[in-house]
């Protein structure tokens, strides 16, 4: 079975631009979470979606938004990019909502903002 997939793998943008990152969860998993990992640090929680509804949000500005589709795939959108948004963006999927079901991570999208 395929694991969590993310696209694109790498992305270079300039300040002020908008970016859309995509994630497909493991087959059968209904929950998708997004994390931001700045170089040298652990991942930071951005959003969790379950059954197409936002179920959790981390301490990120409104420039960050996400949605989940009927097939449980998800998009993360970031508007008005800042240099500090440069990071590895990770998507994780789990069977159900709570973390009693383990979260499995994709390879990430490396975003560079110039």
- The residue ranges that bind other proteins (CB under 8 A) are 4, 31, 33, 35, 41-45, 48, 50, 55-56, 58-59, 90, 92, 94, 97-100, 102-108, 110
Q: How far is the CB of 100 from other proteins (least distance, A)?
A: 7
Q: Which is nearer to other proteins, 3 or 16 (CB)?
A: 3
Q: What is the DSSP string of 37-64?
A: E-TTS--EEEEEEETTEEEEE-S--TTE
Q: Which is nearer to other proteins, 17 or 112 (CB)?
A: 112
> 């998800």: which residue's tokens?
74
Nearest CA to 94 out of 4, 1, 2 is that of: 4
Q: How far is the CB of 16 from other proteins (least distance, A)?
A: 27
CA 96/CA 42 separation, integer angstroms: 23
């Amino acid at each position: 079975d395929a694991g969590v997939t993310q696209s694109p793998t790498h992305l270079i943008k300039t300040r002020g631009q908008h970016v859309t990152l995509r994630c497909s969860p493991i087959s059968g998993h209904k929950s998708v979470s997004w994390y931001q990992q700045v170089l040298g640090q652990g991942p930071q929680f951005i959003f969790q979606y379950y059954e197409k509804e936002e179920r959790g949000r981390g301490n990120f500005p409104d420039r960050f938004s996400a949605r989940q589709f009927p097939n449980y795939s998800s998009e993360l959108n970031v508007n008005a990019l800042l240099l500090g948004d440069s990071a590895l963006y990770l998507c994780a999927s789990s069977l159900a909502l709570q973390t009693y079901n383990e979260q499995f991570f994709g390879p990430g999208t490396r975003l560079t903002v110039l």
